[in-house]
Amino acid sequence: MENIPFQQSSPRKNKTVASAGEEKIISIADNFFSKTIKTNVIKGIGDDAAVLSPPSNDFYQLVTIDSIVEGTHFTPSTLPEKIGWKAMAVNISDIAAMGGIPDIAVVSASLPKNLPIDFLNQLISGINSAAEKFNVAVVGGDTVGSDILSITVTLLGKVEKQYLCTRDGAKQGNVVAVTGLLGGSFKSDKHLTFMPRVEEARWLVKNAKPCAMMDLSDGLAMDSSRIAKASNVSIKLFFENLPVRPGFSIENALNDGEDFELLCVFSEKVLTEDIKKEFEEKFNLKLTVVGKTAPPPTGIFLNDKKIKTKSFNHFG
Amino acid sequence: MENIPFQQSSPRKNKTVASAGEEKIISIADNFFSKTIKTNVIKGIGDDAAVLSPPSNDFYQLVTIDSIVEGTHFTPSTLPEKIGWKAMAVNISDIAAMGGIPDIAVVSASLPKNLPIDFLNQLISGINSAAEKFNVAVVGGDTVGSDILSITVTLLGKVEKQYLCTRDGAKQGNVVAVTGLLGGSFKSDKHLTFMPRVEEARWLVKNAKPCAMMDLSDGLAMDSSRIAKASNVSIKLFFENLPVRPGFSIENALNDGEDFELLCVFSEKVLTEDIKKEFEEKFNLKLTVVGKTAPPPTGIFLNDKKIKTKSFNHFG
């Protein structure tokens, strides 16, 4: 995995968030996050709302929200720094998928009363690690008591108007590609420690102008079907091309959730061997052509067999 | 109370969110919220992030996040439309407190698997009612399975630079005022059905230039102490002036949470009887001078007795 400096200490059971109180929690968060503040932040944590200078007229603003919840996105034994990293990273991945630059975050944490304050410190440290790594300023938040630990992050980003990349731009005859390896994200712990593909996506929108792009959160089959539907094309995936993570199956590569790789659609003539090679050498990361777009009706085919798209159902 | 058109039907126990699935939930939300979209929304629900035209350079952007959780902010018997209204309204109140205009929201909902789909419909309808009332476009969201119902809203707002009003501008010799009646918000159901003071705050920043402003969420005593601390003044509240909600006590007015009224500090010469009268007639709402600012050290006094500030502790 990528090199994230998590401390491997387990949280000690001493002071809890309930005994520390809300003001103490805010001061811990403020202490971490005040380091992330940058020039477009007029006022961060400590008022009814944060105050920002909006991006210039050359940019679109991007906004995304994602929650991670104990029992669904992590387990009671997940290290708190990894929970924090994931909470921020899943949102950064969404901004990357639009071709954008992560910018400003607010965080809401639902915390069990008996949560040790050490655990909270490490959780916030994990959020902060991802924020610092991707130059995100955390400008505000909210904490509430709850029986279940969950973290919600809203992330604002920005993208130069000419680089915006949505899901609905794929045309017939395009090629479909993915970064990295697919499948087994839960078993391999990748879902907790992945590095959002911000630099990679920025390079692609500047050098290979994807027609459509998204991040893989619900599996290649399901997420391909989303691009297919938004763009009104079908997508033919090639069985033999899938970059399956060693130790996992084609089925895993198609249907496992939370790969957080980029799924991109390119004009065939743009995605030359040279461009692919340049990308792979620059980022030490595979960029694999996994399929082609074809005429509607919308649907996903594996070689020539139509496949039913299954997704990770949070309510299943 | 204000006239909010809640339906009084209780949710029927039939189809659940688990049997409907995530795509169905998104389509219900999209159906409600697509009506709220406005010209600064380039792309709403349906991509990795929403795409917005940022406000012009004459504005600051405001961002706030607030979660409401079953058991803390509402009970299992609270009507779902009221839960939805509150989830949006608490955030609108934060933008109002900065002198701002609510603009764009994203919503994350943690939903128990067995939640009836009718309940969800009414919940979203409540969120939508508040969004429509205050011209907020809901542009994206996230749903996750959880044992406890909770809703997190992030709201973006904007404010003309000259109208921004923060907590830290109070000076010695200012007067302290509140809108409406204080205390008993939980018992009277006001905390679920309150009307955020957006128009009132906009009028005040244009006509009476508050030196400091915030919304009352943790009680007059606690929230006054926040303005006092941010502004480095003390605040003397006058026992006899407090606008106590009929049926409640001075203690309630000082310490009950979730009044969601405006707490404002004005230069004495600006808040004339004429201005107060104009405000009260225009909005049919009391604007009561409840105290004065005085030299530091920071602290809250009731008449001349220093009071210990207690707040509603979510972890208590």
pLDDT of residue A22: 84
Phi, psi of A65 (to 5 degrees): -135, 135
| Percentage, residues of chain B above pLDDT 90 | 84
Give the number of beta-carbon pairs within 8 Å between A and B.
232
What's the gap in Å between the CA of B164 and the closest CA on chain A? 9
Phi, psi of A130 (to 5 degrees): -70, -40
Cα distance between residue A80 and residue A10, in whole Å: 9
CA distances from B105 to B64, B108, B140, B234 (A): 10, 10, 7, 36
**DSSP H stretches of helix in chain B:** 17-20, 22-33, 80-97, 117-133, 190-193, 198-207, 220-231, 250-255, 273-283
B34-91 pLDDT, tens digit per residue, is 888 899 999 999 999 999 999 999 999 999 999 999 988 999 999 999 999 999 999 9
Does pLDDT of B315 surpass 90?
no
What's the gap in Å between the CA of B300 and the closest CA on chain A? 17
Q: Which residues of B189-205 are buried (b: 16+ CB within 10 A; e: fewer)?
A: ebbbbbbbbbebbbbbb
The model's pTM is: 0.94
Instruction: Calculate the average pLDDT of chain B.
Output: 93
Strand ranges (E), chain A: 41-43, 50-52, 59-69, 101-111, 137-145, 150-160, 175-179, 212-215, 234-237, 262-266, 287-294, 299-302, 305-306
Phi, psi of B244 (to 5 degrees): -75, 130
Average pLDDT over residues B245-270: 96
* Residue ranges, chain A, pLDDT below 70: 1-13, 310-316
Question: What percent helix, strand, coil does chain B show, rounded to 5?
Answer: 35, 25, 40
pLDDT of residue B8: 47
Average pLDDT over residues B85-114: 97
Average pLDDT over residues B239-261: 95
B179-196 pLDDT, tens digit per residue, is 999 999 999 999 999 999
Q: Nearest residue of A to residue B218 by CA position?
A: A22
Q: Nearest residue of B to residue A167 by CA position?
A: B47
On chain B, the residues whose CB falls within 8 A of the CB of A230 are: 46-47
On chain B, the residues whose CB falls within 8 A of the CB of A63 are: 49-50, 52, 104, 106, 139-140, 154, 156
Q: Nearest residue of A to residue B45 by CA position?
A: A64
State the pLDDT confidence band at B95, using cuts at 50, 70 and 90: very high
Closest by CA to B212, choosing from B229, B194, B196, B237, is B229
Report how far Cα B72 is from the mean position of its chain's Cα atoms: 16
DSSP A297: S
Contact assessment for residue B98 and residue B159, using Cβ atoms and an 8 Å cutoff: yes
Q: Which residue has the higher pLDDT, B249 or B312?
A: B249
B146-176 pLDDT, tens digit per residue, is 888 999 999 999 999 999 999 999 999 999 9
A63, A113, A164, best to mutate vs chain B, most B CBs in 10 Å:
A63
Q: Nearest residue of A to residue B169 by CA position?
A: A47
pLDDT of residue A310: 62
ipTM field: 0.93
pLDDT of residue B12: 44
Please name every residue paired with B102 in a beta bridge, in sequence order, or none if there are none: B157
pLDDT of residue B2: 46
Q: Which residue has the higher pLDDT, A148 or B288?
A: B288
B8-40 pLDDT, tens digit per residue, is 444 445 789 988 888 889 899 999 998 888 999
Domains and CATH numbers, chain A: 20-161 (3.30.1330.10), 175-305 (3.90.650.10)
